Amino acid sequence: MEIDAVIFDWGGVLAEDPAPGMVRYIARMLDSSAVTLASAFNQYLLPFQLGQITEHQFWSRVCQHIDRPAPQATGSLWARAFSAIYRPRHGLTSIAWRLRDLGIRICVLSNTEPPCVGFFNGLGHRFVDHAVFSCNVHRTKPDPALYLYVSSLLQTCPSKTIYLDDNQTFVRAGLGTGLRAHVCRSITDVQAILASYGILV
């Protein structure tokens, strides 16, 4: 079967899922419990990921929710926390380069926040043809329009595109748009899925 492109989720596939580490790290900084902070994140993170509110507005809402003073640190607290807990899966970089050598286009698709976009750009991932971040396009997974937008960027049809994500809901939505979508949580998963399409990396 001909495959033209592979879409990788960022946090959860190309890197370890950052969410648990972010909650623990920021809970310590704000002197809050992780459970309480996670509840606030669940309520206010989506508009931050959609680019609808600034980081300052996000912290104001979160800290009001948990009854803590807003952070006064210089620079982005979100970027500082993300940098501290980020754990890439280095073997996947090599796999992505081998896919590029085979003529397969690469996209990174992530529900993420503006400070993380700068962090990603600083990684210098030259194997990526397109990086699509929810806060830039104002759509989040599992919006089907987002998957179709990515397919248009890659200039291929969904049936010729593999989509790898650790979130079952996002994978189901991808399948609904015709993508060859799979739940994937490790390098071994990536290799097995690619091999099922005759791509040996």
Give me the CATH number covering residue 158: 3.40.50.1000
Distance CA 146, CA 156 (A): 15
Domain, as residue range, for 60: 19-85
pLDDT at residue 187, as a whole number: 96
Q: Which two tokens stand for residue 73?
A: 């640190």
pLDDT per residue as tens, the chain (201 positions)? 799 999 999 999 999 999 999 999 999 999 999 999 999 999 999 999 999 999 999 999 999 999 999 888 778 999 999 999 999 998 999 999 999 999 999 999 999 999 999 999 999 999 999 999 999 999 999 999 999 999 999 999 999 999 999 999 999 999 999 999 999 999 999 999 999 999 999
pLDDT at residue 51, as a whole number: 97
pLDDT at residue 70, as a whole number: 86
Give the strands of the sheet with 105-110, arranged side by side. Answer: 130-133, 105-110, 5-9, 161-165, 180-183
Would you mind telling me the total number of residues written for the chain in this entry?
201
Burial status of residue 150 (CB atoms within 10 A of its CB: 0-12, 13-18, 19 or more): buried
Which pTM does this prediction carry?
0.95
pLDDT at residue 74, as a whole number: 77
123 domain-assigned: yes
pLDDT at residue 132, as a whole number: 98
CA 129 to chain CA centroid, Å, is: 16
Verify that 76 and 104 share a domain, yes or no.
no
Nearest to 9 by CA among 84, 120, 102, 114: 120
Domain stop point among 47, 67, 85: 85
130 domain-assigned: yes
Please check whether residue 110 is in contact with residue 137, taking contact to mean a CB–CB distance below 8 angstroms.
no
pLDDT at residue 90, as a whole number: 87
Distance CA 7, CA 86 (A): 20
pLDDT at residue 72, as a whole number: 80
201 domain-assigned: no
Verify that 122 and 187 share a domain, yes or no.
yes
State the Cα torsion 199-155-144-18 to the nearest 10°. 60
Three-state DSSP at 7 gives strand
Distance CA 167, CA 153 (A): 22
Per the structure, the count of domains in the chain is 2
